[in-house]
Structure formats: C-alpha cells, structure tokens
C-alpha cells in the first residue's frame, strides 16, 4: 500500500516533515466539539499519539471539551503547518482511551504537570491566580515526594476517523486536496476535491 492509499502512512510522513520544519508544537491541532444542541467550540490541543485506530489527546473530563465530548461524541481536528503550507482535517466519533493508556501517558508527564492536573478545575471560574497556586501547593503537600496517580477526572480521547482530508498549497490557489472516507466494509474511498 502506497502513501496515497493509506491516510495514516501519509499522515506519518507529513508529521515527520512537520517535526523537522515547525519551530513550536508540530503536534498542535485545533479540536472542534459541539454541545448536544449543536453549538460549536474550538480550541488548540496537542496530539499525543496516533495509529490506524485514530488520533489521541488527553484532558480534564470536567473541562468544557470533556463535557461536550461526553454529551456529543463527534468531533473534528485540524492540523495546520504554515511553514509547510499543509493542512490535514480529520472528522469522526470519539472514544475514550483505556485506563491503561491514560495511566501510562499520565505517568510520562513531568511531575509538575501531574500535580497541575489534580489542582486545576479546568474551564471553571477562578477568583484569582492565587487560588490555583494555593491548590497546587495543597497537591504538593498531599503527594509529597511519592507517586502522583492519575486523577479520576483526567483521561484521553481517541478520534476514530471516518474522513481525513489532506490539503497542500499550490500557486494561484489551485491547491491539491485529497479526501479519504472510510468504507463500511473497511478500507478507504479516495477522491480528489476541487480547491
């Protein structure tokens, strides 16, 4: 199977190019979610893994995005690598990662990030920065120098793509666009799109 037949092989090649070319966070992606009544919201998150099963990121489950994904488990991602003049759009349902995956990734994070996951009431109102700093100090005392386990409100999601579009800039806005749509029986239907 060539790069053009398998979107994950092509994505890996483009991600390798981004790793070499982008100065900051080549794994940054816009994540679009919706409320149950269809009100959209979008924010930047970091891709933490991908394979033929999908694209993985982690978050506080009580955050706005966490709550929206639990209420409406469909989402879209957009990677934009300006220096490469490339974009990849991904759409599909979200599934939770396993506890084992979430635990393993959580333990790979720096200790201060693990403490922060316990301290932050992500997306909830905060009176002052001091409130966050106080909560972090409480977590330092709580966990001491021991292991910081994954909080029950923190895990990951995997977007299982049913559509992936690769966009490459070309002169005069005559861009290349290739759309991959998952077939019901497996594999991908591939078509070019007008720019």
Query: What CATH number is attached to the domain comprising 185?
Result: 2.30.110.10
Q: Is residue 121 part of a domain?
A: no
Specify the higher pLDDT residue, 3 or 11.
Answer: 11
pLDDT of 93-118, one tens digit each? 999 999 999 999 999 999 999 999 99
Closest CA to 17 of 82, 98, 107: 82
Enumerate the active-site residues: 173
Q: Is 48 exposed, middle or buried (0-12, 13-18, 19+ CB in 10 A)?
A: middle
What's the domain count of the chain?
A: 1
Q: Is residue 2 part of a domain?
A: no
Q: Is residue 142 part of a domain?
A: no
Q: Please provide the average confidence, as pLDDT, over all residues in the chain.
A: 95
For the chain, the straight-line distance linking the first and the last C-alpha, in angstroms and rounded, comes to 26
Give me the domain span that covers residue 84: 7-110+151-192
Q: Is residue 52 part of a domain?
A: yes
Q: Is residue 18 part of a domain?
A: yes
Q: Is residue 186 part of a domain?
A: yes
Q: What is the pTM of this model?
A: 0.93
pLDDT of 39-77, one tens digit each? 999 999 999 999 999 999 999 999 999 999 999 999 999
pLDDT of 116-129, one tens digit each? 999 999 999 999 99
Whether the CB-CB separation of 92 and 160 falls below 8 Å is answered with yes
Q: Is residue 53 part of a domain?
A: yes
């Amino acid at each position: 199977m060539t790069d053009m037949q398998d979107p994950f092989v092509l994505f890996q090649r483009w991600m390798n190019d981004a790793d070499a070319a982008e100065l900051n966070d080549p794994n940054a992606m816009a994540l679009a979610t919706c409320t149950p009544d269809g009100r959209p919201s979008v924010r930047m998150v970091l891709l933490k893994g991908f394979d033929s099963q999908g694209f993985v990121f982690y978050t506080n489950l009580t955050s706005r995005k966490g709550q929206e994904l639990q209420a409406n488990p469909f989402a879209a991602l957009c990677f934009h690598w300006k220096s490469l003049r490339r974009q990849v759009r991904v759409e599909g349902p979200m599934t939770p990662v396993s506890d084992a995956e979430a635990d393993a990734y959580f333990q790979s994070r720096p200790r201060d990030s693990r403490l922060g996951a316990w301290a932050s009431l992500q997306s909830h109102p905060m009176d002052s920065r001091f409130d966050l700093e106080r909560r972090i100090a409480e977590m330092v005392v709580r966990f001491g120098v021991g292991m910081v386990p994954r909080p029950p409100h923190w895990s990951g999601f995997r977007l299982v793509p049913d559509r992936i579009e690769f966009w490459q800039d070309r002169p005069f806005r005559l861009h290349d666009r290739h759309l991959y749509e998952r077939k019901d029986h497996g594999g991908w239907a591939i078509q070019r799109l007008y720019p």
